[in-house]
Amino acid sequence: MPEILLRPFVRLGHSVVSAIWRLGFASRFLAAIVLMSGTTFRRPYLLMREIYFSGVLSLIIILVSGLFVGMVLALHGYDTLSRYGSEEWLGVLVALSLTRELGPVLAGLLFASRAGSAITAEIGLMKATEQLSAMDMMAVNPVARVVAPRFWGGVISMPLLAAMFSAMGVLGGYLVGVVQIGVDPGSFWSQMQSQVDFERDVLGGVVKSVVFGIAVALIAVFEGYDSDATAEGVSRATTRTVVTSALVILGLDFVLTAFMF
Amino acid sequence: MKRTTIDLWVGIFVAMGIAALFFLAVQVGNLRGTEIVEPYELQARFDNIGGLKPRAPVRSAGVVIGRVHHIDYDSERFQAVVVMNIDHRYTFPKDTFATINTSGLLGEQYIGMEPGGDEALLQPGDTMMKTQSAVVLEKLISQFMFSKAAEGTAPK
C-alpha cells in the first residue's frame, strides 16, 4: 500500500534528478563544442554548409513572416494611435517592437522550428544508424566533425536572420502605414529615427538574437546527440528541441529585457 | 579547395544580414541622426525639469543645435543642473533664455534657447542665468482653479 502512495514522489524525484543530470551534461557538452571547434574554423567548408542549411534555407520563412508581422503591427498600431491623433508615432511603434522584442524572439522561435528541429533529427538519425560510432572508430571525433559545425552555423545564422526579420517588419509597417493607410512618410521615418536608439534598441536586439542563437543551437545539437538511438527516440528528441527552445527563448528574453531596459 | 554554389548562397545570405543591420542602424536607428560636431558644454539650472531626459534635443528657433548630456541635482540650491552639449558652430549671447518645452501636446520634452541681445557670448562651461522651468500640468490646473475660486468669492 505505501508503495503506491510513494510512487508519484519517486517519479517526481526521478524526473528532477534526470533533468539536472541533462543540464549538467548539456553544459559540459557546450564546453566540449567550444574546445573542439578548431576543426570547424580550419575547414570553413563545413561551416559554410551548415550556414547554408540552417541560415539560407530559413530565409523565405523569416522574410515572409517578418513582412507580415510588421504589416499587422502597423494595422493594429494605427487603429489605436489614430484615436489620440498621433499616427506619426506608428513608425516608432513598429520599429521599437520589432528591434527590441519581436525580431529576436519570433526569429528565434521560427529558427528553432525550421533549423533546430532539422539539426536534431539529422544528428539523432546519425546516432541511430551508428554513423557517429563509426566515425569514432575511424578516429574522427564526431563532436568536432558533426556537432561543432552545426552549432556554429546556427550561432552565426541567428543574428543575421533576426536582423532581416526586423528590417522586413519595418518595411511591412511602411507598406501598410504609409503606402496603404497614408501616414506621412516624412514623420514616419523621422519620428522613428529620433526615438529608436542605435545602441540601446538595435544593438540590444542583436545581443538578444546572439544569445538565442547560442541557446537554440546548443539545444538542437544536444537533443540530437543525447537522443535514444531509435526511431521513436529521434522523434521525441525533435519535439523536445522545439518545445525546450521555445521555453528557453521566452525565459531568456524576460531575463535579458529586465537587464537591458 | 574550390568555390561552390553553397559559398555563393552563404555569401548572399551574409550580405543580406549585414544589409539588414545597416538598414536598422541608419534608417531606423538614429546612428546618422543630427550630428553634433565638436560640442562645447553649457549648463543651466532649473527649478523643475519635468520629464527632461539625457539625449533630449536642445533647439533654437526649432533647429536642433545640441543635446542634453546629463542631468545632476544641486543639493545646496535644490535645483536641477542640466549639462548640454552644443554644436561648436553655434554661439549664443550671455542673456540667452533656456526654457523647457514640450513638442506637441504629449510629445518629448526639449530645451528651447531664446537668444537675448547681449554683446558678450556664452563661453564653453558657462552657466545660463535665465531659465524657465517645465510646465507642470497639475500646477497649471490648480492655479486656474484658484483663480476661478477667487473670482467667485470676489465682492460684486
Whether the per-residue pLDDT at A244 is higher than 70: the answer is yes
Residue bearing cell 570547424: A40
Query: What does the pLDDT look like over A70-122, one tens digit per residue?
Result: 999 999 999 999 888 788 889 999 999 999 999 999 999 999 999 999 999 99
CB–CB of A95 and B28 under 8 A?
A: yes
Q: Which residues of B touch A193 (CB under 8 A)?
A: 27-30, 32-33
Chain B, window 73-132: residues with a beta carbon less than 8 angstroms from a chain A beta carbon: 104, 106
* pLDDT value for B32: 53
Q: Which residues of A touch B4 (CB under 8 A)?
A: 45, 48
Q: Which residues of B touch A164 (CB under 8 A)?
A: 16-17, 20
CB–CB of B17 and A159 under 8 A?
A: yes
- Please state the pTM of the whole predicted model: 0.78
Whether the per-residue pLDDT at A134 is higher than 90: the answer is yes
Nearest by CB: B29 against A51, A86, A197: A197
CB–CB of A170 and B106 under 8 A?
A: no
CB–CB of A160 and B18 under 8 A?
A: yes
Whether the per-residue pLDDT at B1 is higher than 70: the answer is no
CB–CB of B6 and A49 under 8 A?
A: yes
For the segment B113-119, the average pLDDT, to the nearest whole number, is 87
Q: How many CA atoms does the CB half-sphere of A160 hold within 13 Å?
A: 23
Whether the per-residue pLDDT at A53 is higher than 60: the answer is yes
* pLDDT value for A223: 94
Nearest by CB: B9 against A52, A159, A189: A52
> Which of B5, B9, B13 should one mutate to test binding to chain A, selecting the residue with the greatest count of A CBs within 10 A?
B13
**Average pLDDT across chain A, whole number:** 92
In this complex, is the C-beta atom of B16 within 8 Å of any C-beta atom belonging to chain A?
Answer: yes
Nearest by CB: B10 against A48, A84, A205: A48
Q: Which residues of A touch B27 (CB under 8 A)?
A: 170, 189, 193
* pLDDT value for B33: 52
Report how many Cβ contacts below 8 Å link chain A to chain B: 89
Tell me the CA distances in angstroms from A50 to A115, A149, A242, one per residue in order: 10, 6, 19
* pLDDT value for A93: 92
CB–CB of A163 and B17 under 8 A?
A: yes
Sequential DSSP letters for chain A: -HHHHHHHHHHHHHHHHHHHHHHHHHHHHHHHHHHTTHHHHHSHHHHHHHHHHHTGGGHHHHHHHHHHHHHHHHHHHHHHHGGGT-GGGHHHHHHHIIIIIIHHHHHHHHHIIIIIHHHHHHHHHHHHTTHHHHHHHTT--HIIIIIHHHHHHHHHHHHHHHHHHHHHHHHHHHIIIIIII---HHHHHHHHHHH--IIIIIIHHHHHHHHHHHHHHHHHHHHHHHS-SSHHHHHHHHHHHHHHHHHHHHHHHHHHHHHH-
For the segment A24-32, the average pLDDT, to the nearest whole number, is 92
Weakest-pLDDT range from A109-113, A223-227, A239-243, B151-155 = B151-155
Query: What does the pLDDT look like over B49-62, one tens digit per residue?
Result: 888 888 788 888 88
